[in-house]
A and B are shown apart, each in its own frame.
Chain A
């Protein structure tokens, strides 16, 4: 057990898995000597050699495309896309191939690889360094999408992603790369994909968050002593754990969803649709969502204006509670 931030926990997961399985290789821009621009692969090239930790040419489609080729013949590539804003040249490889090769070959070939990619705002960076494009991938049949909310989860979820037989897009919220320190077991452990985490049980309202905003949601839970909030961390965005969400909403009758990405067709849209299908008659108030806007994320001066916050989430919860009273 040691106190780690998320960068260290991810590094630890990679190191332990690479020790376990020599067919795991890393590839990406600056992942070798440099250790990645966020240092997630720090020291791995030295420990495992340049044949296993490959600095790639600057080409995202090439990184993901060659990783697909490596995966189909038996390696387990873990590729890194440096920033989410640079993932788009690789979308063709993910949407046209990685997600489809199992189906196209009717099971003969599959693409067990992990695409690691930082995501989201909150670090006052340049354009294309603060986006939240997870919905594109959640919308793609055949991909799994995971986003951890802290160091402990990051290590366990990345370990599962690496051991998974399917293509997993592993988004790492950069806002919390170093913002949270937690006790992390030094041995290897796996947190199952496809299962949400009920962080705190409560009876008044279901608060759903994922990635960086779980930390903020926890602060809301701490501050709002008068509301008994049930806090759910999705952990895996695809496949979505509908059961945990529905069970919770059937109990609380109210729901608030937090998502950093643009509002339209975000995770919240799908969650609301599923609640509508499976728990509509349990609802005591309209569902609220706290999201980014359908705009480009502003540059550093106005970034906060765009992002969710403790205040925005608290207001949404108050609104839901008030509406529920009005309905009863």
Chain B
């Protein structure tokens, strides 16, 4: 006997299309005030991103991972969450950090090489940046398992790229989430490129969303450049999770407009035409046109929002750059809750050995320059 024992469907959601068309009844209910806020965060994120790129080129930041083009994925999803929901970002989620309340000066400090930039204030529920690809997914599942055990209504949300779906930890995390029916939302920002490898070479699956089916929970692909789709899919997933109905995978179909990082040159592996085509689908312009059409914003307000964002980012840069440097011996302080005698001894030794360098700040800067290009980030 041979018969079909299961059938599956993979939903796709697009509300505001690339031509600005939409069906009123599909629009999620968001107040005008919040729509404006979302727009402001998208602009702030874009201004931050452009500034960070420039600062890196001026030698004022280390390697930086741009997120241009992915603003709708980040702002749309993060806006659907509550304060106590815990976010596990990868390394391209600057917009999400800011929407959660992490100040841009903190992010600039992190990208400039100051670990204190990831010392997230205790009231803000976001985990530090995770550089290794995909290995942070199980953490989000574990946190969700804990929320369930502690009978808290929080959900955990984990962000990752298309590349991460090839990692073993993607499988293990999705599988655990399904088995334990964890309140965990997996958000894949499928930006088409894992450094130089296109998504077609990353997986033979037609979509990433469909991978959820194998783990026993829903997956959905959304237009990742449409803020409304991302927001709606995330809201639905969050509602499901809070009701105890388990995890959801959301594939945000988007595009990495920038290079992988400031150490990358994407002209080596993709055509500029492809980038131009995607630039036409810019998530900010699409949303902006909608807001203009609905008269929620006007050109004067746009100008004001942009100049305020620029001023805020300029302030953040000067705050970041004028922050008192941390002592290099801080490196010893966070291995264990209490400093071990071995580490204490090494800390003292480090002070003796580095006496010359710490006396002369210029020398340590030169030492960094001599170390050459800071290592590449792996693409998510």
Nearest-neighbour CB distance to chain B for A302, whole angstroms, equals 34
Kindly state whether residue A315 has any CB partner on chain B within 8 Å. no
Docked Cα-Cα span, A259 to B335, in Å, equals 26
Kindly state whether residue B200 has any CB partner on chain A within 8 Å. no
From A142, which residue of chain B is reached at the shortest CB distance? B335
Kindly state whether residue B198 has any CB partner on chain A within 8 Å. no
In this complex, the member of A25, A70, A96, A141 whose beta carbon has the largest number of chain B beta carbons within 10 angstroms is: A70
The answer to whether B168 and A61 touch across the interface, beta carbons within 8 angstroms, is: yes
The answer to whether A97 and B136 touch across the interface, beta carbons within 8 angstroms, is: yes
The answer to whether A67 and B118 touch across the interface, beta carbons within 8 angstroms, is: no
Docked Cα-Cα span, A96 to B129, in Å, equals 12
Known: A108-B122, A141-B335. A59 touches B176 (CB 8 A): yes
Known: A66-B176, A69-B139, A97-B136. A108 touches B145 (CB 8 A): no
Contact with B135, one of A25, A72, A92, A110 (Cβ below 8 angstroms) = A92
Count: A-B pairs, CB below 8 Å = 145
The answer to whether B179 and A65 touch across the interface, beta carbons within 8 angstroms, is: no
The answer to whether B115 and A165 touch across the interface, beta carbons within 8 angstroms, is: no
> Which listed segment binds A: B21-29, B317-325, B337-345?
B337-345
Contact with B172, one of A65, A108, A141, A144 (Cβ below 8 angstroms) = A65
Nearest-neighbour CB distance to chain B for A95, whole angstroms, equals 10
Kindly state whether residue B140 has any CB partner on chain A within 8 Å. yes
User: Which residues of B from 122 to 164 have beta carbons under 8 Å from A?
Assistant: 122, 127-130, 132, 135-147, 149-150, 156
- In the complex, chain B residues whose CB is within 8 Å of the CB of A107: 119, 333-334
- In the complex, chain B residues whose CB is within 8 Å of the CB of A72: 127, 139, 142-143
Docked Cα-Cα span, A144 to B143, in Å, equals 23
The answer to whether A25 and B149 touch across the interface, beta carbons within 8 angstroms, is: yes
Docked Cα-Cα span, A93 to B145, in Å, equals 17
Kindly state whether residue A109 has any CB partner on chain B within 8 Å. yes
* Chain B proximity mask over A141-180: 1 for CB below 8 Å, otherwise 0: 1101000000000000000000001100000000000000
The answer to whether A62 and B342 touch across the interface, beta carbons within 8 angstroms, is: no
The answer to whether A103 and B149 touch across the interface, beta carbons within 8 angstroms, is: no
Docked Cα-Cα span, A144 to B86, in Å, equals 27
Contact with B142, one of A66, A89, A96 (Cβ below 8 angstroms) = A66
Known: A59-B176, A102-B335, A108-B120. A69 touches B145 (CB 8 A): yes
The answer to whether A105 and B146 touch across the interface, beta carbons within 8 angstroms, is: no
The answer to whether A74 and B146 touch across the interface, beta carbons within 8 angstroms, is: yes
Kindly state whether residue A323 has any CB partner on chain B within 8 Å. no
Kindly state whether residue B169 has any CB partner on chain A within 8 Å. yes
The answer to whether A93 and B142 touch across the interface, beta carbons within 8 angstroms, is: no
Docked Cα-Cα span, A107 to B13, in Å, equals 40
- In the complex, chain B residues whose CB is within 8 Å of the CB of A45: none
Main secondary structure of the interface of B (DSSP, over half): helix
Contact with A68, one of B128, B132, B139, B342 (Cβ below 8 angstroms) = B139
The answer to whether A93 and B118 touch across the interface, beta carbons within 8 angstroms, is: no
The answer to whether B145 and A102 touch across the interface, beta carbons within 8 angstroms, is: no
> Which listed segment binds B: A204-212, A236-244, A282-290?
A236-244
User: Which residues of B from 84 to 129 have beta carbons under 8 Å from A?
Assistant: 86, 88, 115-116, 118-122, 127-129
- In the complex, chain B residues whose CB is within 8 Å of the CB of A108: 119-122, 128
Kindly state whether residue B8 has any CB partner on chain A within 8 Å. no
- In the complex, chain A residues whose CB is within 8 Å of the CB of B185: none
Kindly state whether residue B175 has any CB partner on chain A within 8 Å. yes
Docked Cα-Cα span, A132 to B141, in Å, equals 30
User: Which residues of A from 55 to 111 have beta carbons under 8 Å from B?
Assistant: 56-57, 59, 61-62, 64-75, 77, 89, 92-93, 96-97, 99, 101-110
Kindly state whether residue A201 has any CB partner on chain B within 8 Å. no
- In the complex, chain B residues whose CB is within 8 Å of the CB of A74: 146, 150
- In the complex, chain A residues whose CB is within 8 Å of the CB of B135: 61, 65, 92-93, 96-97
Nearest-neighbour CB distance to chain A for B346, whole angstroms, equals 10
Kindly state whether residue A183 has any CB partner on chain B within 8 Å. no
Kindly state whether residue A51 has any CB partner on chain B within 8 Å. yes
User: Which residues of A from 34 to 56 have beta carbons under 8 Å from B?
Assistant: 51-52, 54, 56
From A102, which residue of chain B is reached at the shortest CB distance? B334
Nearest-neighbour CB distance to chain A for B108, whole angstroms, equals 16
Q: List 16 A-B contacts (CB under 8 A).
A: A25-B149, A54-B180, A62-B173, A62-B175, A65-B135, A66-B141, A69-B143, A72-B143, A75-B150, A77-B142, A92-B169, A107-B333, A109-B127, A109-B128, A144-B336, A239-B343
Known: A92-B169, A99-B335. 11 other contacts (CB 8 A): A57-B176, A64-B138, A66-B142, A66-B173, A68-B139, A69-B139, A70-B146, A72-B142, A73-B147, A103-B335, A142-B336
Residues on B close to A: CB < 8 A?
A: 86, 88, 115-116, 118-122, 127-130, 132, 135-147, 149-150, 156, 168-169, 171-173, 175-176, 179-180, 330-331, 333-337, 340-343
Instruction: Pick the 5 closest A-B CB pairs, nearest first.
Output: A69-B142, A65-B138, A62-B172, A66-B142, A106-B119
Residues on A close to B: CB < 8 A?
A: 23, 25, 51-52, 54, 56-57, 59, 61-62, 64-75, 77, 89, 92-93, 96-97, 99, 101-110, 141-142, 144, 165-166, 194, 239-240, 242-243
